[in-house]
């Protein structure tokens, strides 16, 4: 009996896998990882072995620019299934990336964040206006070049890249 139970336990461990799903908030571009252990037997729907575990990684946008009233709006960004031994059993990246030109730069570039913050501190930029820039169309959507928020985005990115241009070889250098 103990042997049967042991074999069953081993078989169950062999069929266990972890499903990981990635979501990104359409507004503040924060990331949420959802993971769930499952028992996968061919031909049968996966059986959950654990509770769904959520891990939210707040973006810089969420921490610095979004109003307190912001509610996350999660969009699936991809899913993977890993066997208990680490093998990847399935991958799908059919989801969308909801970043736009501004949030993409803001998340990856600490200097750009410092530049934006300095302009906010100087009273030159309003956080409320930036919250609208954050919500501009994503890079795979129909671009918006006309709205006040779109014009603010363009002015801000242009001014930033100009400020970082090489003073000798870049634009506006001494001739
Ligand atoms: Zn959010």
Q: What integer is the mean pLDDT of 10-15?
A: 72
The pLDDT-based confidence of 169 (bands split at 50, 70, 90) is low
Are the beta carbons of 40 and 102 closer than 8 angstroms? no
CA 150 / ligand 1 centre spacing (Å): 20
CA of 119 to the centre of ligand 1 (A): 23
Is 63:131 a contact under the CB 8 Å cutoff? no
Question: Does residue 170 register a pLDDT over 80?
Answer: no
pTM of the full structure: 0.77
Site of tokens 């242009």: 158
pLDDT tens digits, one per residue of 47-90: 899 999 999 999 999 999 998 899 999 998 888 888 888 788 87
Question: Which residues are CB-contacts of 72 (< 8 A; sequence separation ≥ 6)?
Answer: 25, 27, 28, 30, 32, 56
Q: Which residues contact 135 (CB under 8 A, 6 or more apart)?
A: 27, 149
**Ligand 1 centroid from CA 62, angstroms:** 6
Strand partners, 33: 22, 55
The Å distance, Cα 105 to ligand 1 centre, comes to 17
Q: Which of the 8 DSSP states describes residue 148? A: H
Find, among 116, 31, 36, the residue nearest to 80 by Cα. Answer: 36
CB 39 within 8 A of CB 47: yes
Measure the CA–CA gap between 61 and 59, rounded to whole angstroms.
5
Cβ(22)–Cβ(31) under 8 Å?
yes
173 has a pLDDT exceeding 50: no
- Which of 26-30, 96-100, 127-131 comes out lowest in average pLDDT? 96-100
How far is the centre of ligand 1, averaged over its atoms, from the C-alpha of 104 (Å)? 14
CA 74 to centroid of ligand 1, rounded, Å: 8
pLDDT of residue 59: 97
* Contact present, 168 and 174 (Cβ < 8 Å): yes
CA of 20 to the centre of ligand 1 (A): 20
């Amino acid at each position: 009996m103990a042997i049967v139970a042991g074999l069953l336990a081993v078989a169950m461990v062999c069929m266990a896998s972890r499903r990981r799903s990635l979501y990104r908030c359409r507004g503040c571009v924060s990331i949420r990882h959802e993971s769930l252990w499952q028992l996968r037997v061919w031909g049968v729907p996966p059986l959950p072995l654990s509770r769904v575990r959520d891990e939210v990684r707040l973006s810089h946008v969420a921490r610095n620019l979004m109003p307190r009233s912001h509610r996350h709006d999660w969009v699936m960004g991809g899913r993977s299934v890993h066997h208990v031994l680490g093998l990847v059993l399935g991958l799908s990246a059919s989801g969308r990336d909801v970043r736009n030109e501004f949030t993409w730069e803001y998340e990856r570039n600490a200097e750009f964040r410092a530049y934006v913050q300095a302009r906010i501190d100087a009273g030159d930029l309003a956080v409320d206006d930036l919250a609208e820039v954050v919500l501009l169309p994503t890079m795979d959507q129909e671009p918006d070049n006309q709205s006040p928020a779109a014009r603010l985005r363009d002015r801000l990115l242009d001014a930033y890249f100009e400020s970082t241009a090489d003073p000798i070889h870049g634009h506006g250098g001494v001739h």
